[in-house]
Amino acid sequence: MRMIERTATLGLPAWVLACLALTLTACGSTGPTLQEYADRAGTLITEVRTSIATLDAQWMADAPTPEGVRDYWDERLAARERFLAGLQALGPPDQVADLHDNVVGLFTKLNTAEAALAAHIGSFDTLDDHWQGWDSPEGRAARAVDEELISICRVVQKDLDDTQAREVFADMPWLPSDMQEVVEVVLGCST
């Protein structure tokens, strides 16, 4: 059960982080607005969270077997790869391009850690419970990346929330549009 709680958090922070942290200091951008970028990233996050939640529910519905765990991890890793490919394809606004690249790097690291965990768990001849193997060096490495993403998510959510204060400047044409932009996104960062 503790895995289901963890998997629900893994998709959220990455891309939106990129949108927010630099928002307050940036002036001038090409490409999508922060809100457009956040919306596109939100779609990717919703898709990966839904896929993993569905996989978790299916996995928990049956007795754990070595074949079942290999199928679970194959599908989970495929969902993560689709998410990462979509994230990499997003064209971030200029002011968050570096942060976007860092977030892509963290999700690449997460995918690598989960692939190592999948290989470890996939080598078991028998399973005693659904989440057997998470208390291993591979499982701890995957959780550490997850915790790093959650920490970044919280910082980004605060930055997003801070853009709400800019709403009072929305009708001042002499201010650059980046200084007026309000980004409304709820990332759902978890512990």
Per-residue pLDDT tens for 106-144?
999 999 999 999 999 999 999 999 999 999 999 999 999
**Two tokens, residue 131:** 């989440």
Collapsed DSSP state (helix, strand, coil) of residue 39: helix
Per-residue pLDDT tens for 57-84?
999 999 999 999 999 999 999 999 999 9
pTM of this structure: 0.72
* Residue that wins the pLDDT comparison between 5 and 120: 120
Distance CA 120, CA 41 (A): 31
Closest CA to 25 of 174, 186, 185, 166: 166
Per-residue pLDDT tens for 12-59?
443 343 334 334 334 444 578 888 888 898 899 899 999 999 999 999
Torsion of CA 113, 118, 119, 122, to 10 degrees: 160
